[in-house]
Chain A
């Protein structure tokens, strides 16, 4: 299987339901094998035994899934960086020094991390609002693994995980949402309160403890115990997202109507900058792409497809730029290449 980052973009949400607000949907299951210590107490031979078992499972009976098995120490640094940027693997797996691995599907949407914080992290990511689909994806992989292996499971506590915050279902569902309208009408606090009330966590683009870029936020279930997988998924897809999507759309319409000049200024200032800059940091590029994404959704710009912006929101990150232009690029060269790529894609 050839790994091709151009093949699929997890943010290509333009033809998916609610793609104007929801960029991507993700599901993750945390699992551990019975009879083994958790990864943080595992010896090297335990880790090797677990990767060996999982490699047999992931490469067997998976004609439909076509998972490619990769030991992390065999994965080059650029592909590793690119996988982290696509959320296919976590940063901690990328930097782990014990034996660990990843099985990844050809569409770069499904993956199985082996020996991360837990022995197994099954993941799926799809563009737009497709929470039910990603839930089905991980369930299918879960069944494949448990046909052969016994999970650490307790009747009362469910699937046992290294951290009690993942206990029970081990399931984490999340969405990446674009909320520029709610920021501009100063209503993000309402979203935060809604998250709090539904036991959801809201984080910036780069995850826990980070600020955000491009008005992108990740929202996920905070609890994993005491609800079924379906219930946890529905809290996001049925209770949280419909009103938030509605608020965001209303906020965008309000801005277009009542702050039209400000919107135009923001949109074309960002467009001018992105079409002319020769050096762009990730933050500057992301924030201005976020602004023109809002401008496109409100018909301020009709010469650029929203899919072009969605694609750029992924492709301008260091791993993707190094994949495209060469792995030796330093930070200054990355900033130049980033600006070149954006000018090329935005037609200037």
Chain B
């Protein structure tokens, strides 16, 4: 790709940006005509070609494991399901993919992130600056799309059709503490929230940038990071290279990829990714309803668990122990216990909890179960956190299908 766009930290001023816009297939968009003319049925049915600077889905998926299934092409979304996520630390090639806009490649040398807003000393940092000026660190932490598990809701709400156990990963993140960078800029006393804006772009110049904010306390929490690596290797383009934000345990949209702007604010950011997407009703609503006006922005994931072993429909022998294992996680609490049921919830046994890799990592549980008779069986897992919250059987429906954390259930066969 000779005409790849690079270093678009401030794309509005770059000539390459204008080149790109000229190439966008929806060429009818010009000043004063924001609405493209209705193309004929035949041309309209074809999606516009991907613009320059964009990595194709084929390239992204070639770097991924076959267990990762694509759920949509534009924007690209892909995930593996529980039986492929047994690792305590998710391998890079099984980390889920969720883009809002294009998968955009930026040059590490030219990429700049601006720290601005309610700070004493605004900063413009290159990736090299970030690596050299701040303590390099790493942590294992959960990232999970707000809509992970969406297809388990009934009826299925709109959005990426994540499988019941797809859309979450727990890799190791390499980078620097977000708090260290913010403190270097000097947070003013009226700073209360921090927003992140990505440099990636959509198919039209009118499409707003991806931008989310989190409360200042979360941005300053020591596990919140500016990330340049994954699992001690480079950060893949699709996961936000050269740098991204990582807000552990929170709905993934807060972890803005290709981050180019970090702004300290006195109030939550206003914008489409805060005010109309990534929102939850305050109270459960009837299935099929609109989002209530007073809905709130997504934050940390509630208590959740999933069974990674046995794989669905595995076959076992009577009298031979079966390893039942999986992970449990919650954003802002600890896991108190994970219980398993082999009789559809009539009785429950505590699973053994292993130590977790880091504060925001998922916690692996295990249990040796010896089947005593033949037939088709199920195992259910139910986690409880240190605040006393237990997973529900079914998560209340909500218009955007967020926070699915219903009890996971896996079937297997026992043979004599």
Determine if chain A interacts with chain B: no
